[in-house]
Structure 1
Amino acid sequence: MGLSVTILGSNSALPTSERNPTAQVLRASGRFFLIDCGEGTQLQLRRNRVHFGRIHHIFISHLHGDHVFGLPGLISSLALLGRTADLHVYAMADLEKLLNPWLDYFCKNMPFVVVFHAVEPDVSKVIYEDELLEVVTIPLEHRIPTVGFLFREKPKERKINKGKCDFYQIPLRWLPRLKKGEDFNEDGRFISNEELTLPPPPAKSYAFCSDTRYSEKIVSLLQNVDLLYHESTFLTDQEELAAKTFHSTARQAASIAHQANVGKLLLGHFSSRYRDLEPFLEEARAVFDNAWIATEGSTFEI
Structure 2
Amino acid sequence: MNPIWLTVLGTAAAVPSFEYYTSGLLLSNLNDEQWLIDCGEGIQVPFFRYGGNYNKLRRIFISHLHADHYIGLVGLIMSMHMHGRKLPLTIYAPHGLAEILTAILRASDTQLKYAIEYYTVPEDTLSTVYKDSRWEVVAFPLKHRIPTVGYRITQIQQERRFLANEHTSSIPFEYIRRMKAGENILAEDGTLLYHCDDYTEPLPKLSFAYCSDTAYDERIIEYCKEVTLLYHEATFLEQDRVLAEKTFHSTAQEAATIAQKCGAKHLLLGHFSYRYPNRSVFREEAERIFPSVYIAKEGMQLNLNQLNHSKTHA
Distance 1:300 1:176, change over 3 A: closer
Identify the residue that residue 312 of structure 2 maps to in structure 1: none
CA-to-aligned-CA distance 1:173-193 (integer Å, 9 cap, x gap)? x98688446586965658644
Q: Which residue of 2 aligns with 1:62?
A: 64
Choose from 197, 217, 220 the match for 1:194. 197
Q: What CA distance in whole angstroms lies between the structure 1 residues aligned with 2:10 and 2:93? A: 19
Q: Specify the SS of the correspondent of 1:103.
A: helix
1:134·1:152 contact (CA, 8 Å) conserved in 2?
A: yes
* Structure 1 equivalent of residue 95 of structure 2: 93
Matches within 5 A, 1:145-160: 145-158=147-160
What number of residue pairs does the alignment pair up? 300
Q: Could you tell me whether the CA contact under 8 Å between 2:235 and 2:271 is conserved in 1?
A: yes
What are structure 1's unaligned runs of at least 5 residues? none
Shift of 1:57: 0.4
8 Å contact 2:184–2:194 — kept in the other structure?
no
Structure-2 change in CA distance of 1:4 and 1:157 (3 Å): closer
CA distance in 2, matches of 1:24, 1:95: 19
C-alpha distance in 2 between matches for 1:176 and 1:141: 46
Q: Which amino acid aligns with 2:41?
A: E
CA distance in 1, matches of 2:17, 2:83: 29
The equivalent position to 1:77 in structure 2, one of 76, 79, 102, is 79
Shift of 1:43: 0.7
Contact 1:233 1:271 in 2 (8 A): yes
Q: Is the 8 A contact 1:15 1:272 kept in 2?
A: no
Residue ranges of structure 2 left out of the alignment (5+ in a row): 305-314
Q: Which amino acid aligns with 1:15?
A: P
Contact 2:182/2:196 (CA < 8 Å) preserved in 1? no
Hey, what's the Cα distance between the residues in 1 that align with 2:49 and 2:71?
19
* Aligned twin of 2:9: 8
Q: In structure 2, how many angstroms separate the alpha carbons of the residues matched to 1:92 and 1:105?
A: 22
Which residue of the other structure, out of 86, 105, 108, is the alignment partner of 1:106?
Answer: 108
Aligned to 2:279: 277
- Which residue of 229, 232, 254 corresponds with 2:231? 229
Distance in 2, matches of 1:294 and 1:84, equals 32
User: Residue 220 of structure 1 aligns to a residue in which SS?
Assistant: helix
Q: 1:190 and 1:227 mapped to 2: Cα distance?
A: 39
**Secondary structure of the corresponding residue to residue 229 of structure 1:** strand
Deviates more, 1:216-225 or 1:107-116: 107-116
Letter in 2 for 1:10: T
Aligned pairs for 1:139-218 (under 5 A) are 139-158=141-160, 179-180=181-182, 192-195=195-198, 197-218=199-220
The corresponding residue for 2:308 is none
Q: Any idea what the Cα deviations from partners look like across 1:103-151, whole Å, max 9, x if unmatched?
A: 1232532111110000001111211122221111121000001011111
Q: Measure, in 2, the Cα distance between the counterparts of 1:74 and 1:121.
A: 25
Distance in 1 of aligned mates of 2:287 and 2:222: 22
> Deviation of residue 261 (structure 1)?
1.1
On the 8 A contact 1:158/1:181 being kept in 2, the answer is no
CA contact (8 A) 2:5 2:301 kept: yes
**What one-letter code is carried by the residue in structure 2 that aligns with 1:112?**
Y
Asked if the contact 2:22–2:40 (Cα under 8 Å) also holds between the matched residues in 1, the reply is: yes
Whether contact under 8 Å (2:185, 2:192) holds in the other structure is no
Counterpart check, 1:26 vs 2:18: no
| Post-superposition offset of 1:275 | 1.1
CA contact (8 A) 2:234 2:270 kept: yes
Residue 5 of structure 1: SS of its match in structure 2? strand
Correspondent of 1:52 among 51, 54, 61? 54
CA RMSD, aligned part only?
2.6
**Identity %, equivalent residues:** 36
The DSSP-based 3-state class of the residue aligned with 1:37 is: coil
Cα distance, 1:237 vs. partner?
Answer: 0.9
Secondary structure, aligned partner of 1:110: coil
CA distance in 2, matches of 1:284, 1:48: 27
How far residue 62 of structure 1 moved from its aligned partner, in angstroms, is 0.2
TM (norm. structure 2) is: 0.87
For residues 109 and 50 of structure 2, the distance between their equivalents in structure 1, rounded to whole angstroms, comes to: 26
Q: Is the 8 A contact 1:90 1:118 kept in 2?
A: yes
